[in-house]
């Protein structure tokens, strides 16, 4: 589906103002969101565009709310909260008087922020009430109103959870957050695309399931805001399907017990040893890398891995069984993920190839061959935007004056995909 007329201009505004990306596969969601706002304000799309261009706050707030996805629930992704518990316990043990700031960036209706407060009580006991402040921020003002009300229905306690009577009281068919937690948690609007007023000295930041809806500029802007926000020994966790932010900031990425974590490069918090487990099963969304980055660290720098070798070898690198075994032996083997993606592509397993290639780009944010194969797989899957993005990434990363056949071929393929001149 392609958009036309005022929709195209509105989509460009959504990208610039909110960082939100609406590729063709999500064009219908975009049109639905615009139609909802037009109905609510009794406007045509052209009139809505005019209001947006005039920075009408009502139109802007309603459009932000209609275009965002507010899916969330308490204790979503429990392993993330295990890592937060460990981190908080370590910092608290080092300084029993320390006070903490925990930030839920993109908190939607607030469940994540309240979960942080509950978890702080679990770690610190009653002293959490005075030692911990939790901030929940979001673009969507309507979601923030809900968050501040703190009243939730059963759907917010998914996956067999029961609201704990220590933190919730019954309110008709819903549950109300206790006054003890309310004293610890504040909510306020914050647009991560333009986040000059983001909090500072944050000990734990969660920015989960937010960046996957962003375009490359939005990811970079949010990454910088999160980077600036962290205390020197702070911890950041993104969602399993979020793109890596390692290409945009100097934060040090590591995978601990299957969770991707970011810490400032000279963090004084001693992380536990890295366990070599696979990252979560969801493939990463595409992210842009730039050739002229200020910082040169990526997730791949911190993850033990083999090199991102050229992909034209003629040995048994194409043997799927051998590649399956290599990945089972070492789930962080970037080279094996890249080669298996290529082997699957050769066998017309387009989706498998794309999943593997995206995993490879997550492990090796600046690995040219991973991006090359991701571009080819996305192209084969007819995901043109993703293909072009990875092709541009690969072109930025491939050594420009390397004339070996593998490099020349990769550059030619990526150029064609970036310019969309390649037939499948």
Ligand X SMILES: C[S@@+](CC[C@H](N)C(=O)[O-])C[C@H]1O[C@@H](n2cnc3c(N)ncnc32)[C@H](O)[C@@H]1O
Rounded to whole angstroms, the Cα distance separating 167 from 180 reads 8
Task: For residue 263, list its beta bridge partners.
Answer: 252
Stretch that binds ligand X, among 16-24, 91-99, 174-182, 382-390 (CB under 6 A): 16-24
Span near ligand X by CB under 6 A; candidates 79-87, 139-147, 148-156, 295-303:
139-147
Q: Give the nearest distance from C-beta 340 to ligand X in angstroms.
A: 30
Chain length of the chain = 424
Tell me if 36 sits within 8 A of 66, measured CB to CB: yes
Q: Among 88, 108, 198, 380, which residue sits at the site for ligand X (rule: CB under 6 A)? A: 108
**Which of residues 120 and 326 has its CB atom nearest to ligand X in the complex?**
120
Residue with tokens 């993109």: 106
For residue 206, which of 375, 72, 65 has the smallest C-alpha distance?
72
From the CB of 143, what's the least distance to ligand X, in Å? 5
Q: Shortest Cβ distance from residue 384 to ligand X (Å)?
A: 24
Please give the Cα distance from 105 to 113 (Å, whole number): 9
Beta bridge partners of 188: 137
Which of 34, 120, 123, 143 is in the footprint of ligand X by CB under 6 A?
143
Binding of ligand X at residue 193 (CB under 6 A)?
A: yes
Which among 44-52, 187-195, 264-272, 342-350 is the span making contact with ligand X, rule CB under 6 A?
187-195
Residues 255/260/263/266 CA torsion (nearest 10 deg): 20
- Of 102-110, 162-170, 179-187, 282-290: span binding ligand X (CB under 6 A): 102-110
301-340 residues labelled b (16+ CB within 10 A) or e (exposed) = ebbebeebebbeeeeebeeeebbeebbeebbbbbbbbbbb
Strand partners, 171: 174
> Is 191 one of the binding residues for ligand X (CB under 6 A)?
yes
Characterize the bridge pairing of strands 185-189 and 202-207: unpaired
With CB under 6 A as the rule, give the number of residues binding ligand X: 26
Instruction: Please tell me whether residue 362 adopts helix, strand or coil conformation.
Output: helix
Q: Widest CA span of the chain, in angstroms?
A: 71
136/365 with CB nearer ligand X: 136
Nearer to ligand X by Cβ, of 67 and 413: the residue is 67
Q: From CA 258, how far away is CA 256, in angstroms rounded?
A: 5
Q: Which is nearer to ligand X, 9 or 75 (CB)?
A: 75
What's the Rg (C-alpha) of the chain? Answer: 23
Our finding on whether 138 is near ligand X (CB under 6 A) is: yes
Q: Site residues for ligand X, window 234-253 (CB under 6 A)? A: 239
What is the nearest approach in angstroms of ligand X to the Cβ of residue 20? 6
95 binds ligand X (CB under 6 A): no
Please say which residue, 128 or 143, places its beta carbon nearer to ligand X: 143
Stretch in the footprint of ligand X (CB under 6 A) among 190-198, 273-281, 295-303, 314-322 = 190-198
Residue 79 sits in the site that holds ligand X (CB under 6 A): no
Using the rule CB under 6 A, which residue among 66, 210, 261, 370 binds ligand X?
Answer: 210
Least Cβ distance, residue 27 to ligand X (angstroms): 18
Of 187, 117, 89, 207, the residue nearest 146 (C-alpha): 187
Q: Does 216 bind ligand X (CB under 6 A)?
A: no
Query: Interaction with ligand X in 57-76: which residues (CB under 6 A)?
Result: 68-72, 76
Show Cβ contacts of residue 412 under 8 Å, excluding neighbours closer than 6 positions.
none
Positions that interact with ligand X (CB under 6 A)? 18-20, 68-72, 76, 106-108, 112, 138-140, 143, 190-193, 208-210, 213, 239
């Amino acid at each position: 589906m392609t958009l036309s007329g005022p929709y195209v201009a509105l989509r460009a505004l959504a990208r610039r103002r909110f960082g939100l990306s609406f590729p063709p596969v999500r064009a219908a969601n975009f049109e639905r969101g615009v139609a909802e706002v037009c109905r609510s304000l009794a406007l045509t799309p052209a009139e809505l565009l005019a209001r947006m261009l005039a920075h009408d706050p009502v139109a802007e707030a309603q459009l932000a709310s209609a275009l965002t996805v507010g899916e969330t629930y308490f204790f979503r992704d429990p392993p993330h909260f295990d890592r937060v518990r460990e981190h908080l316990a370590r910092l608290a043990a080092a300084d029993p008087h320390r006070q903490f700031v925990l930030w839920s960036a993109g908190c939607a209706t607030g469940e994540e922020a309240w979960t942080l407060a509950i978890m702080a009580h679990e770690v610190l006991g009653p002293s959490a009430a005075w030692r911990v402040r939790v901030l929940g921020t979001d673009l969507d003002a309507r979601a923030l109103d809900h968050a501040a009300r703190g009243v939730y229905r059963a759907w917010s306690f998914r996956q067999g959870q029961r609201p704990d009577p220590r933190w919730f009281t019954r309110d008709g068919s819903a549950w109300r957050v206790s006054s003890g937690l309310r004293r610890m948690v504040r909510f306020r609007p914050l647009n991560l695309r333009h986040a000059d007023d983001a909090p500072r000295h944050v000990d734990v930041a969660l920015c989960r399931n937010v960046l996957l809806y962003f375009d490359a500029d939005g990811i970079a802007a949010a990454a910088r805001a999160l980077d600036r926000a962290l205390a020197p020994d702070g911890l950041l966790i993104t969602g399993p399907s979020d793109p890596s932010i390692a290409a945009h900031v100097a934060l040090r990425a590591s995978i601990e017990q299957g969770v991707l974590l970011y810490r400032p490069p000279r963090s004084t918090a001693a992380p536990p040893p890295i366990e070599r487990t696979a990252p979560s099963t969801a493939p990463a969304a595409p992210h842009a890398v730039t050739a002229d980055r200020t910082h040169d660290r990526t997730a791949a720098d911190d993850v033990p891995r083999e090199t991102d070798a050229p992909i034209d070898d003629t040995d048994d690198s194409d043997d799927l069984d051998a590649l399956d075994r290599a990945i089972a032996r070492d789930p962080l083997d970037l080279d094996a993920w890249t080669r298996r993606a290529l082997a699957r592509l050769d066998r017309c397993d387009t989706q498998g190839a794309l999943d593997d290639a995206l995993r490879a780009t997550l492990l090796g944010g600046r690995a040219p061959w991973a991006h090359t194969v991701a571009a080819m797989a996305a192209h084969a899957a007819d995901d043109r935007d993703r293909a072009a993005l990875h092709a541009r990434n690969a072109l930025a990363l491939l050594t420009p004056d390397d004339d070996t056949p593998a490099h020349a071929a990769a550059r030619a393929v990526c150029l064609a995909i970036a310019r969309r001149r390649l037939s499948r």
